[in-house]
Amino acid sequence: MKKTTLSLLVLCLLFLIPTFAWAEWFLDVYGGESTTRDASVTAEITSYGVFMATTTKSHTEKVDFDASFTMGGRFGYWFEKLPSLGVSLDLSYFKAEGERAEFDVVPVSLLLMLRWPLFKSENFPKGKLQPYAGVGPGYFFTSSRVNFRPALQDSVSGSSDEIGFDVRAGLSWQFHKHWAIFGEYRYTDVKIDLKQEDYLAIFSGTDESMKTHLRTNHFVVGISYRF
C-alpha cells in the first residue's frame, strides 16, 4: 500500500509535465538545522518458543531530542500560464537523536507550490523577491534504534516507511536571471510504527515493535537554479 502511494505521487508529477510544456523549471539545494519535539517512544519485545512460555515486555519513555542538521534538494517547475502555481518533488534527510533513541529519516515529498512575485521588472518578470509556500504528502523512510535497557532485555532497531505530512514557507531573492537564494521554514509530521520478527532458531524467536510520533521544525538556507 505504501509503495503504491509513493508510485502514485511520482506518477502525478510526471503526468503534469507534458500538460504544461511551457514552464519555469527550478532545481534547489539546501541545508540547515532540524529540531524534533520531545516525543513518547514505546518499544515492545515478545519472546516465544516451543519449550518456553511466551513473554511480552513493553516500555514507554519520553525522549528529548537534540538539534541536528538537515539537507536536501528539490526539483520542479512553475506553470507559465499560472506563474504563481507550481509543483515539485523534494528529497531530504534529517536525524532525530536522543540519549536512548535515534531516528534517521529520509522524506520524499510531492509538493504543491505557491508564490507571490514582488518587484517585477523587464529583467525579472516573475519578480525579484518571491515569498512562497509548499504543502503536500511525504513518504518517510526511517531507520530506528531504541535502547531501553534494562527495562527491556534488548535494543529494538529496524527500518520502516510511513506516509506523513510536509509543509514549508520561505522567501526567495532572485539576483540573476538563472540564480536565486532562499531561506525557508519547514515542518514535517510522521508517525512511525515499526514491526519485525527475529527468528532465533527453528521453533523460537522474538517479535519487536516500536511506535512514536516525530514532529520536526527545519530552518534551512539554499540556492536555486532557474531554467
pLDDT score, position 24: 86
Cα(139)–Cα(161) distance, integer angstroms: 7
pLDDT score, position 203: 66
Q: Which residues of the chain have pLDDT under 50?
A: 11, 15, 18-20
pLDDT score, position 122: 87
- Decide if 130 contacts 109 (C-beta within 8 A): no
Q: What is this structure's pTM? A: 0.88
Ordered by where they begin, the domains of the chain are 2-226 (2.40.160.20)
Written in H, E and C, the secondary structure of 114-162 is EECCECCCCCCCCCCEEEEEEEEEEEEEEEEEECCCCCCCCCEEEEEEE
pLDDT score, position 18: 47
pLDDT score, position 202: 59
pLDDT score, position 101: 97
